[in-house]
Amino acid sequence: MNRYPFWKYAILVIALVVGIVYTLPNLFGEAPAVQVSSGKVTVKLDVSMKQRVEEILAKAGLQPDFVQFDGNSVKARLADLDAQRKAKDALSAALNPDPADPTYIVALNLLSRSPRWLTAMHALPMYLGLDLRGGVHFLMQVDMKAALTKKADSTAGDVRTLLRDKNIRHAGITRDGNAIVVRFRDQASLAAARPILADQLTDFAWEESQDGTDWKLAGMLKPDAVKRVQQAALTQNITTLHNRVNELGVAEPVIQQQGADRVVVQLPGVQDTAKAKDIIGRTATLEMRMVDETSEGRMAVTGAGPVPFGSERYTERGGAPLIVKRQVLLTGENLTDAQPGFDGQTQEPAVHLTVDARGARIMRDVSRENIGKRMAILLFEKGKGEVVTAPVIRGELGNRFQISGRMTTAEANDVALLLRAGSLAAPMEIIEERTIGPSLGAENIDKGFHSVVGGFAAIALFMCAYYLLFGVISTLALGLNLLLLVAVLSMLQATLTLPGIAAIALTLGMAIDANVLINERIREELRGGANPQAAINTGYERAWATILDSNVTTLIAGLALLAFGSGPIRAFAIVHCLGIITSMFSAVLFSRGLVNLWYGRQKRLKSVSIGQVWKPAATVPAKT
């Protein structure tokens, strides 16, 4: 009765082999490598880069283990730290002739030391979390209200243009929260305006009402448009963050959406939060507006009069006040690029700007009407605005134009960077920040590893001493459980963190329960006088129902953590849940397989090695 059909053994062997193969890459450790990735949005890497890197390294007399291209970057693995440093210098020098404006980012990185045939099978090591390798973690909240307000603001501008194009007279356009209110003197113009607005601005639902003698047309963002605007804002912010992080030259940054309005940024290897935050946390939005150069505006600058209605006071980067109109001409959304450079004629430092089609149209109209006037470029950080620059419009502008004059090269660089930074769709705020030093990370790996090994050894010793051969089998099953768990985590390319390691330890500690249940049951059957083969069979059968019940309750707790937890709790929960599932396989199927293999063949089994089975002298409760 204690025999498995051949196919069951086959499944066990396959599980064992798969477990070993996918666990292996984690054991090889990591080797120093150099990574080359694009430093500019416009530069795309392709396979030819692999060849170039190989040539450069060969010229420098370096022998990389291999060079690989993985879609976004080219990585070369090197033998030691010394070679890594030399390779980095050689590559930087060859790929970036102008160090001040690097086209490619050459970063130091780590690559798995596992052999290539494993990598070819997609057997990759687990990714180590920040708490194990050191780095910075930011959680950023995107200000969605601001994104909606901005949408309403820019739409109000569109309404104005539309109505003017169609020659419809209105009595004022205002933004009230996220709604746009257009006033009309008579019903006829309202009737003319409504179909145009409804037709052109489909994101808004228009409603008319009467207010005294005026007629009002109020536009509210439709719910699905709200969702779209928010998602677009988030996506754009993530893209912008990617570009900014590229400037940092981090080897493997993680930038992900979390929840509806949050972005996680993880930068392994970076300890310098100040610099990282300087670039990432530059939570800024860009707006272009006209400077108020009416007489009231000029009075307000000197403080002689109040700020006129429809204008606001901001300070220039020098500290001087500037009165700027509220109406937004262009936002960072329309600005596609800003690069420092030189004026073609005067050779003065300049910033070259490129705007999209919509921006170009607005730019052309505005500049034609306002030659000789000043236009301010404002950068908003956390709701506070600052004038980056307020140049005078010299002529009619198209989609490419430049800002020049009274600037040093450094200033031009600075302004260009700030303008590029301004392409965030909505402001963001850091709501969580974590830094872990690299030595602390290495220490955490050791601590986690020692915890698992120490606990495993203690359990193994006890089980073997107490249950003898069955204890050895239980220990082997527990070992397979660990192997499978690590293999599954590697296959899923899960991120291993310290709570994850704690979960591995705890799961192993709990998984032994199944084998204890089985072994105790078998002893009990033997105590009751059953023959060994029957005892093994009933022991496994009876214990199974209990094991299933108890694992389901543990799984419920694990799923709750998975559903509601975030960050470290989630990592813990994933490992915990997977561990429960692998433990059912290893503790029941695998250990039974071993027992069957050992005892199943023996027809006349006299005794089993499960430790001492003590029988009480007194009778067991009488069965009725």
Partner 1 sequence: MEFFRIHRDIPFMRHALVFNVISLVTFLAAVFFLATRGLHFSIEFTGGTVIETAYAQTADIPKVRTAVESLGLGDVLVQNFGSSRDVLIRVPLREGVKQADLVASVFGALCKAEGGTVSNREGAAEQGQSASRQACAAGAAEPVRLSRSEFVGPQVGKELAEDGAKALAFVVIGIMIYLALRFEWKFSVAAIVANLHDVVIILGFFAFFQWEFSLSVLAAVLAVLGYSVNESVVIFDRIRESFRRYRKMTTPEVIDHAITSTISRTIITHGSTQMMVLSMLIFGGQTLHYFAIALTIGILFGIYSSVFVAAAIAMWLGVKREDLVKSAAKDHDPNDPNAGAVV
CA–CA dist 339, 353 (Å, integer):
7
- Least distance in angstroms from the C-beta of 375 to partner 1: 31
* Residue 80, Cβ density class (10 Å: 0-12 exposed, 13-18 middle, ≥19 buried): exposed
- Least distance in angstroms from the C-beta of 467 to partner 1: 8
The footprint of partner 1 on residues 455-474 (CB under 8 A) is: 455-456, 458-459, 462-463, 465-466
Coil, strand or helix at 251: coil
Q: Which is nearer to partner 1, 269 or 391 (CB)?
A: 269
Do 105 and 75 touch, CB atoms closer than 8 A?
Answer: no
- Least distance in angstroms from the C-beta of 602 to partner 1: 24
Q: Which is nearer to partner 1, 91 or 463 (CB)?
A: 463
The footprint of partner 1 on residues 403-432 (CB under 8 A) is: 429-432
The footprint of partner 1 on residues 24-53 (CB under 8 A) is: 30, 32
Q: Which is nearer to partner 1, 290 or 489 (CB)?
A: 489
Number of residues interacting with partner 1: please give it, by CB under 8 A: 106
The footprint of partner 1 on residues 89-108 (CB under 8 A) is: 107-108
CA 285 to chain CA mean position, Å: 21
DSSP state, 423?
A: B
- Least distance in angstroms from the C-beta of 271 to partner 1: 3
Structure token digits, residue 110? 């780590």
- 271 touches partner 1 (CB under 8 A): yes
Q: Which is nearer to partner 1, 87 or 376 (CB)?
A: 87
Q: Binder to partner 1 among 26, 84, 481, 583 (CB under 8 A)?
A: 84
Do 187 and 215 touch, CB atoms closer than 8 A?
Answer: yes
Listed ranges 63-71, 116-124, 318-326, 515-523: which one lies at the site for partner 1 (CB under 8 A): 515-523
Listed ranges 225-233, 309-317, 387-395, 614-622: which one lies at the site for partner 1 (CB under 8 A): 614-622
The footprint of partner 1 on residues 136-165 (CB under 8 A) is: 139, 141
- Least distance in angstroms from the C-beta of 517 to partner 1: 6
- 607 touches partner 1 (CB under 8 A): no
CA–CA dist 401, 64 (Å, integer):
46
CA–CA dist 213, 373 (Å, integer):
37
- 71 touches partner 1 (CB under 8 A): no
CA–CA dist 285, 357 (Å, integer):
20
Do 126 and 490 touch, CB atoms closer than 8 A?
Answer: yes
Q: Which is nearer to partner 1, 29 or 195 (CB)?
A: 29
H/E stretch holding 514 reads: helix 498-527
CA–CA dist 479, 477 (Å, integer):
5
Q: Which is nearer to partner 1, 308 or 565 (CB)?
A: 565
DSSP state, 24?
A: G
Do 433 and 138 touch, CB atoms closer than 8 A?
Answer: yes
Listed ranges 45-53, 68-76, 531-539, 548-556: which one lies at the site for partner 1 (CB under 8 A): 548-556
Nearest 10 degrees: CA dihedral of 26, 30, 34, 40? 40
Q: Binder to partner 1 among 2, 92, 109, 311 (CB under 8 A)?
A: 109
